[in-house]
Amino acid sequence: MSVQVDDAEILRKFQDEKTRNEAFNLLLKKYQQKLYWHIRRMVVDHDDADDLIQDTFVKVWKNLPGFRNDAQLYTWMYRIATNECITFLNKKKQKNNIPLDDVAYELADTLADSSYFNGDQAQLKLQQAILTLPEKQRLVFNMKYYDDMKYEEMSDVLGTSVGALKASFHLAVKKIEAFLISRD
C-alpha cells in the first residue's frame, strides 16, 4: 500500500531541480486516474481521453512553477483538464461543422460501442442521458455526481457562482429524469 504524499510536499519537491521529476511522478500517481475519468466522462472515447490527459499533464508541468497556492493543487489541475475538454469538444464541433447537440449524439454512439460502458442497461441509459445535457450542465453533473465535488470547489474550477452551479445541477437532474422516463 503506497503512502499518499500531500500536495505541499509535492510542490516543495517540484521547486528543487534535483527532485522535480520525482515530484511530477508523485503528482501523476496521485491525480492521473482521477483526472482521466473526469476527462473520459466528458469526451467518452478512451483514445481522446488519453490524449487529453497527456495534454493536461504537459500544461501542468509547464505551469507548475507559476502555481501560486491560491487554489488547491487538485482544483487547479481539474480546471486545466476541464478547459482541455471544452477546447477539444469545441474543436470537434467546428471541425465537423455540427451543432454541439449533434456532438452529443456522436458521443452517445461512441458510448454504445465502447467496451468500458458495456455494463448494465441502467448505467448505459444514465450515460446517454448525461450526454444530452448542455456542456456546462454535463460538467456540473459529473463533478457533483461522480467526483462528489463541493459547489465551492466547482466554483473555483469553473469560475461560476455557487448559486448558478446549484441551478445547473438541479436542471441537469430534471433533464436526466425526463430522459430516463421517456425511455422506459
pLDDT digit string (tens) for the chain, length 184 residues: 455 789 999 999 999 999 999 999 999 999 999 999 999 988 888 899 999 999 999 999 999 998 887 778 989 999 999 999 989 988 887 776 655 455 555 555 555 555 555 556 677 788 888 888 988 899 999 999 988 899 999 998 888 999 999 999 999 999 999 988 887 6
Task: Kindly list the distances between the CA atom of residue 104 and the CA atoms of 24, 137, 149, in Å, as whole numbers in the listed order.
Answer: 34, 13, 24
Helical pair 162-182 and 121-131, crossing angle rounded to 10 deg: 130
Where are the CATH 1.10.1740.10 domain residues in the chain?
1-117
Q: What is the Rg, in whole angstroms, of the alpha carbon atoms belonging to the chain?
A: 18
Return d(Cα 47, Cα 44) in angstroms, integer.
9
Q: Which CATH class is domain 119-184?
A: mainly alpha
Q: What is the DSSP letter of 44?
A: -
> How far from each other are the two terminal CA atoms of the chain, in whole angstroms?
44
Pick one of 3.30.390.10, 2.50.20.10, 3.90.78.10, 1.10.1740.10 as the CATH number of 1-117: 1.10.1740.10
Q: Which three cell numbers stand for residue 61?
A: 508541468
Q: Boundaries of CATH 1.10.10.10 in the chain?
A: 119-184
